[in-house]
Structure 1
């Protein structure tokens, strides 16, 4: 690659990122260090990430375009298709000059496919083809969500996929939401919340160094909010890292025990607790068998899941969350919620949440938990506990679907159920 045009190593890193996500099922962020190991500059790493993320955001539309320009379909995992995706997404979505988009990927092709890649790219540019805006969801995802949530939700998801999501901040109790919204040039959708535009450098914003707030999507902030005021009572935050809910609970007056099996992710929690001046007892442990000497007044389980609810910010989940992954995640959630319930004191609450748009991971797990457990019942969430634009379902659970808060920038897909144990 020594004789390749400048920028070619960045495209190679993007190719490695796409291979990690699409062939090996690795999350895009987790693949960054390995794929970008040869890139020294931060801006090159950022551009490789941008190419890969935008390719994943528009993958189905890119493939339709490629298939319309070839006599015979290229294999789904062929290098020629991958390099065409990278070249086309740069020219059509990232506004990279055509010459730079194609000359930096051709050195990555082996032999004959170079002519094909160049011909398809040149024809597409010559014909003035454009990508749909907003992008289409992967067909399997669109059909699954259509069956679960309806056509309107699918169209709302498309709109969300095509727009940069805003950044939500959770404020420490006692902070004036309106004042911070003004200082940060944002809006507040509920007390203790500020929403700002995407693309801003977080660590440079007022209040960051003072620990006044932390980044947390408004939907992700709901489970801890629904725990209420702690008033010195005990709460267990299972699967706690990176710690947004731990900080919420500590700030609300709970004595928090935070458990997660990832030491690196818990290190981020320790840093955020130090920055915000909050405290929690932290344990590195597997949530499926964590033991405590005494039960807790409340347990919050934000369970591992397919994470399809965060597709706006992480479009790779749309291609990684296969039926098998969703099934395995749901099975794990059944085990986790059963164990979490055993750690709740009589009269205490259990809050179960997932950042998923799959009914098998939310509603069905909550329903299965109550079956055969007469000592537990739904503790209905009331509409005045939620921000305007999000409402509980008929039994008092919360399902944040695509389209919620659409006029204000949307929110992640989420499910929350609150249960109470009899005395």
Structure 2
């Protein structure tokens, strides 16, 4: 059946199924789900539909249940189809007739009349979503007193943040690109900007990087010292945003990661920005450096729940087991990294996670002392914790578009 727009809706359905049934990320599922979707616009539409259906899933289900006499099973295909139909109308402003034309064919041989009836009932009621998405109970419980503020920060996907190679040119680039800067070296642009067509992309003047993700490298400061460039190890470096920051800040960078394809992307980014780093393909749990470092940045593998604004799949697929696995891996990496530091060397530990177990509760290895983060090092509106750490979440800086959730600690070797 050749219905315009149907492949994108079918792909959205496959994306949601991959997240909820197989525990895949949207990025992991995209290759297979989008394989038969032609054109960048339709592929982007499929991602947008799936993203909004996952972002508002709790509230969409409440609407669906309010219009059925007998509750649909949680994993019923009709429920998933209704989720994407309602997400299009209520979040993407797709006309109802187009939603029906591309939604009901997904239930060929199934309960089309039921889905049509539920959808029509909700349209007649002028159904609306709440102002803020309802978090899954498990996530709300884990995030505690900040849960409501975090949920408010998830209403919209994020704008486009870029990091400038030369922070001294911030005002010039802000004027040229019509962006807003929240600190030197940062610009925020409207969502949907065609990245490779923006001024300065081909010249390597900047790279895409969320404001919160740029803070860990900033907290190491300039790499130039009285005896030349300091040596820094960027652990788990790919795809390279922090590597480029550190190189631009004057450090002699060793960028290590165990993902070959992601390291190739890092290499491409270094070439485009005309920055230099030694790139090492290795497993940090077995690799040994030839000499110790002046500083180490460990942006550790984590559950990535802090990225829920752009990756709403994390709201539904992260379990206590996954958190425990990440905490164990992070502790091993921290212990190894601490052994590679020179005396007086600094270690930055960062995770894009909202989980206290991966952040505040992650203990420093023996021989390291907290080097408190200062408010003067942060964008206006952010402040360090009482313990000298940094905790951000999507509910912060809401008046200027928010930011991802991160935990950052800075230690110095005794």
Normalising by structure 2, what TM-score?
0.95
Matching of residues 15-414 of structure 1 within 5 Å = 15-146=13-144, 150=145, 153-173=146-166, 175-231=168-224, 232-365=229-362, 368-370=363-365, 373=366, 375-414=367-406
2: CA distance, partners of 1:253 / 1:175? 14
Residue by residue, what CA displacement relative to the aligned partner does 1:331-350 show, whole Å, maximum 9, x if unpaired? 11111111111111222111
Given the superposition, is the C-alpha separation of residues 169 and 72 from structure 1 closer, same or farther in structure 2, using an over 3 Å criterion? same
CA contact (8 A) 1:377 1:420 kept: yes
- SS state at 2:264 partner: helix
2: CA distance, partners of 1:48 / 1:96? 13
Partner of 1:8 in structure 2? 6
Residue by residue, what CA displacement relative to the aligned partner does 1:368-389 show, whole Å, maximum 9, x if unpaired? 224xx1x211111111111111
1: CA distance, partners of 2:32 / 2:230? 43
- SS state at 2:344 partner: strand
Cα distance, 1:60 vs structure 2: 0.6
Residue by residue, what CA displacement relative to the aligned partner does 1:155-199 show, whole Å, maximum 9, x if unpaired? 322222112322222112353212211111122221222222222
Cα distance, 1:323 vs structure 2: 1.7
2: CA distance, partners of 1:103 / 1:40? 19
- SS state at 1:419 partner: strand
Residue by residue, what CA displacement relative to the aligned partner does 1:294-324 show, whole Å, maximum 9, x if unpaired? 1111111000111011111111111122222
Cα distance, 1:53 vs structure 2: 0.8
1: CA distance, partners of 2:23 / 2:189? 32
CA contact (8 A) 2:295 2:346 kept: yes
2: CA distance, partners of 1:62 / 1:291? 50
Aligned pairs, number: 410
Segment drifting more, 54-63 vs 395-404: 395-404
2: CA distance, partners of 1:41 / 1:209? 23
Gaps of 5+ in 1: none
CA contact (8 A) 2:309 2:394 kept: no
Cα distance, 1:359 vs structure 2: 0.3
Cα distance, 1:111 vs structure 2: 3.2
2: CA distance, partners of 1:369 / 1:289? 20
CA contact (8 A) 1:4 1:104 kept: no
Cα distance, 1:97 vs structure 2: 1.9
Segment drifting more, 284-293 vs 47-56: 284-293
Partner of 2:411 in structure 1? 419
| RMSD, aligned α-carbons | 1.5
CA contact (8 A) 1:404 1:410 kept: yes
- SS state at 1:283 partner: strand
2: CA distance, partners of 1:107 / 1:297? 61
CA contact (8 A) 1:289 1:339 kept: no
1: CA distance, partners of 2:14 / 2:69? 27
Cα distance, 1:7 vs structure 2: 2.3
CA contact (8 A) 2:233 2:293 kept: yes
Segment drifting more, 38-47 vs 103-112: 103-112
Cα distance, 1:110 vs structure 2: 4.9
